[in-house]
């Protein structure tokens, strides 16, 4: 920020782990940031979120090449499985029912849903690597804005940016109670609930509703 000559920030916006960063900046620089939008995130990683990550790491380590292979391609099969596990936390029962149900009612096995998980695992494996993925999960597990600040509530109370907190009603990874906690503990918060069939990924897919909420918030803080 200083290198670029930016003295004041009108608004920071972050969704999911991007929300972690927006929240951290707002605590670090309360006098520099005027507005803030946090989407589908929390103030401290939950045991539920940590165990989704730990289960993915178990999948990485179950691939012998993750530890044995001295190249960036190690752990590729484990990464595919880890991604498939993660996807379940990003979506919802209703979302899968809408998009992955079999059209043929006489099929013995649910091939469509199975092939979708495999496809998503392979797609990530082809553009990412297992070691970066492992590091990303560990960085998420370290999220706690209250560390070294006297606790989460005290840290959130220091924020001076005018906040909009947005939650997705079907999000199982960052459930609404976590955004409600943010709204209750960050001064002068506005709180919006977005309805979606697609779980945590609703913060990416429900862009029309989210855009409308952000535009309304920008008018308030101007």
Q: What does pLDDT average to in each consecutive run of 10 residues of the chain (222 residues)?
A: 88 98 97 97 98 99 91 95 98 96 87 96 97 98 98 98 98 99 98 98 98 95 82
User: Is 106 labeled as catalytic in the residue annotation?
Assistant: no
Provide the b/e sequence for 100-110 (b: ≥16 CB within 10 Å). Answer: beeeeeeeeee
Which is catalytic among the residues 26, 196, 197, 200?
200
Name the pTM for this structure: 0.93
User: Is 217 labeled as catalytic in the residue annotation?
Assistant: no
**Residue 28, pLDDT score:** 97
**Residue 1, pLDDT score:** 77
SS3 assignment, position 116: helix
**Residue 25, pLDDT score:** 97
**Residue 47, pLDDT score:** 98
Block residue for tokens 């605590």: 27
Domain positions in the chain: 9-44+143-221, 48-141
CATH class of 9-44+143-221: alpha beta
Q: Report the percentage of the chain scoring pLDDT > 70.
A: 100
Topology annotation, domain 48-141? Rna Polymerase Sigma Factor; Chain: A (1.10.1740)
**Residue 71, pLDDT score:** 85
d(CA 150, CA 32): 22
pLDDT in tens, 130-143: 999 999 999 999 99
**Residue 10, pLDDT score:** 94
SS3 assignment, position 144: strand
Which is catalytic among the residues 89, 143, 171, 189?
171
pLDDT in tens, 38-57: 999 999 999 999 999 999 99
Domains 9-44+143-221 and 48-141 share a fold: no
Whether 197 and 95 have beta carbons less than 8 Å apart is answered as: yes
């Amino acid at each position: 920020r200083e290198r670029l000559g930016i003295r004041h920030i009108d608004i920071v916006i972050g969704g999911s782990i991007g929300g972690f960063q927006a929240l951290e900046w707002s605590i670090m620089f309360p006098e520099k940031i005027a507005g803030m939008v946090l989407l589908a995130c929390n103030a401290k990683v939950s045991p539920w979120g940590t165990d989704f990550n730990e289960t993915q790491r178990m999948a990485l380590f179950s691939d012998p090449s993750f530890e044995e292979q001295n190249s960036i391609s190690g752990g590729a099969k484990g990464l595919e499985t880890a991604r498939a596990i993660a996807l379940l936390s990003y979506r919802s029962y209703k979302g899968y029912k809408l998009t992955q149900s079999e059209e043929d009612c006489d099929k013995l096995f649910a091939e469509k849903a199975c092939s979708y998980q495999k496809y998503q695992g392979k797609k990530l494996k082809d553009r990412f690597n297992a070691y970066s993925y492992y590091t990303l999960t560990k960085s998420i597990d370290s999220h706690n804005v209250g560390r070294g600040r006297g606790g989460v509530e005290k840290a959130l109370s220091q924020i001076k940016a005018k906040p909009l907190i947005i939650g997705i009603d079907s999000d199982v990874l960052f459930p609404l109670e976590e955004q409600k906690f943010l709204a209750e503990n960050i001064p002068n918060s506005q709180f919006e609930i977005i309805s979606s069939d697609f779980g945590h990924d609703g913060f990416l897919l429900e862009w029309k509703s989210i855009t409308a909420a952000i535009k309304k918030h920008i008018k308030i803080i101007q």
